[in-house]
Structure 1
Amino acid sequence: MSLVNTLIHHRTFEAVAEDGIPIAYEDLGHGMPLVLLHGLTESSESWHESGYVEQFLRRGRRLILIDCRGHGRSGKPHDPAAYSGRRLAADVAAVLDRAGLQHAALMGHSMGGVVALAAALYHPERVSALVCNGAHPFAEELAPFRAVLKNDFEAWLAFLTHLAPHLSQATCRRIRANDLAAVQATLAKDRSDFSAAFARLQVPVLAISGTLDPRCELVRNFAELAGGEFLPLADRNHVTAFLDVGTVASAVNDFLDRAGAQNKEAE
């Protein structure tokens, strides 16, 4: 049995966002807190299934796994205005408040990385370190995603399976179980450029990207802008860069140890 099953009692909670939307999260383990934010059409379960949870718990971290609004067990508003960067950032702050945490490190993949960036933008005092895999703060047009998710999740699953042919049946089930209107609402507005703020933020940053991900150069540029670290994953694309758990979790653990030491020196 895994460490998660034998040593950790799963504690599931719910925070209430500033606009009344319930935000579900898990609170696992003990130690320095790390918030995990999943990608589009996924849920916090992706961190369990992929193996990140066990890797991080073995390093003595307290994990806060959030189901982002519109996903998983959280509320699923259909109004695009409910998915602004400010609202998404406030969700993270609400969870930290509910968990009794003044600040935490944030790690997000893809959409979750954008949520982490928004939290660092609007609530920098709550963020002790920032890890983004396949995400950046530059402008991005979401029309291709709107097109592939126009009618159902089948074209989206075909796209993901092209990137990762061995996508698990559990992942496919989670994706098909989504509320389509809520997912469409998250994509209704293109992402604006908020990169200038990261030239001023004093937050340790680790930016990660597969070298086959079209976003790779933008992720690299973000790391340079923020004065952070960049980890390129050779021959990995947007999905397989998340699934390369051994490489990513090891690098993130080492980065968070360094960031923790820097933060202590700054106190």
Structure 2
Amino acid sequence: MLVIKKLSASLALLIFMLITGNCVLAQPVTAPGSYYTSFDGVKIHYEAKGDGFPVILVHGFSGTGEGWKKGKLYNDMLTAGYKVIILDQRGNGRSDKPHDDAGYANDAEAKDIMGLATSLGLKRYDVVGYSRGSIITSRVFVLDKRVQKAVMGGMGDAYTNPEWPRRIHAYKALMGDTSFHDVDGMINYIHSNPFDELALAYQQKWQPSTSKQELAKVKIPVLLIDGTEDHDNGDEVALHKLIPGSKLVHVPGDHNSASRTPEFSKAVIAFLK
């Protein structure tokens, strides 16, 4: 009888702890970082570390800010004394994921980054993008005069075409069209992971382009950095010619590996100094 009473008391205590949230098992995992509310009410998750000159890192398609921590650049920049800011772009990670055209049209993703800079009180900053993050980075440095230097990794000139076939194919494939086999690898990867596929589809539908005329007016230093085996997003040499005074560097690797290499990190930090 005593054993039963002890078990009953323990069960009652467990139930109480679960209800009140005092049980460790019942507590959600607390993720690092913070949220800010963007221009249209969308909440953007970000993390800022360090106390030096601010640099915003912009991840690629279906990625998150945490992805930067898998390579060398993130920690190397902190060690070099920068204030490093990562974010989950809308539709990704812990940020809100709108399911409508308005959520991604008219440079919404670039506005998120510029708004984040404003919310953090940044009067000047640098921006580093990779893959699709470079496409958004391009919009940011065209639109925001606070940007001092910019890095575009894993990107050629294909994104300057507003009718870029692969973008259109990716959007249609994410909406269920199975006839575009040039994006099979991307689509298979997305289907095999718990992504919000509708949000990703809207990102492809409204992915911005930056015109050759806009690029011709760029005045800030821009670094283009690509893997020697990266052939994913057009011709980086052609893009280099479109941006006055830009610098082009090649590092070992393909599109998926180049950004994580020591050579990538070294080149970016040397450029930003």
Q: Same fold by TM-score, threshold 0.5 exceeded?
A: yes
* TM-fit CA distance, 1:100: 1.3
Please point out which of 197, 207, 219 is paired with 1:202: 219
Tell me if the contact between 2:154 and 2:227 (Cα under 8 Å) persists in the aligned partners.
Answer: yes
Tell me if the contact between 1:207 and 1:220 (Cα under 8 Å) persists in the aligned partners.
Answer: no
Tell me if the contact between 2:136 and 2:208 (Cα under 8 Å) persists in the aligned partners.
Answer: no
AA at the equivalent of 1:233: V
Please point out which of 160, 181, 201 is paired with 1:138: 160
Q: Distance in 2 between matches of 1:218 and 1:97?
A: 34
2:237 corresponds to: 220
1:74 and 2:95 are equivalent in the alignment: yes
Q: Distance in 2 between matches of 1:90 and 1:231?
A: 28
2:19 corresponds to: none
Q: Distance in 2 between matches of 1:69 and 1:190?
A: 12
Summarize deviations over 1:6-41 as a string: whole Å, max 9, x none: xxxx96122221111111110011211110000111
* TM-fit CA distance, 1:215: 4.7
Determine helix, strand or coil for the equivalent of 1:176: coil
AA at the equivalent of 1:221: A
Q: How does 1:18-33 map to 2 (within 5 A)?
A: 18-33=39-54
Q: How does 1:213-252 map to 2 (within 5 A)?
A: 213-215=230-232, 218-226=235-243, 227-234=245-252, 236-243=253-260, 245-252=261-268
2:228 corresponds to: 211
Does the C-alpha gap of structure 1 residues 220 and 96 become closer, same or farther in structure 2, counting only changes over 3 Å?
A: same
Q: Distance in 1 between matches of 2:34 and 2:83?
A: 15
Q: Distance in 1 between matches of 2:187 and 2:39?
A: 36
Tell me if the contact between 1:134 and 1:216 (Cα under 8 Å) persists in the aligned partners.
Answer: yes
What is the TM-score normalised by the length of structure 2?
Answer: 0.76
What is the TM-score normalised by the length of structure 1?
Answer: 0.78
Q: Distance in 2 between matches of 1:206 and 1:85?
A: 25
State which drifts further: 130-139 or 91-100. Answer: 130-139
Q: Distance in 2 between matches of 1:157 and 1:198?
A: 27
Q: Distance in 2 between matches of 1:85 and 1:161?
A: 25
Task: Determine which structure has more spread, i.e. the larger CA radius of gyration.
Answer: 2
Aligned residues: 234
1:166 corresponds to: none
Unaligned runs of 5+ in 2: 1-30
AA at the equivalent of 2:171: R
* TM-fit CA distance, 1:250: 0.3
* TM-fit CA distance, 1:220: 2.1
Q: Which runs of 4+ in 1 moved over 4 A?
A: 155-158
1:65 and 2:89 are equivalent in the alignment: no
* TM-fit CA distance, 1:213: 2.5
**CA-atom RMSD in angstroms:** 2.9
Determine helix, strand or coil for the equivalent of 2:33: strand
Tell me if the contact between 1:11 and 1:28 (Cα under 8 Å) persists in the aligned partners.
Answer: no
Identity of aligned residues (%): 25
AA at the equivalent of 1:249: S
Tell me if the contact between 2:139 and 2:210 (Cα under 8 Å) persists in the aligned partners.
Answer: no
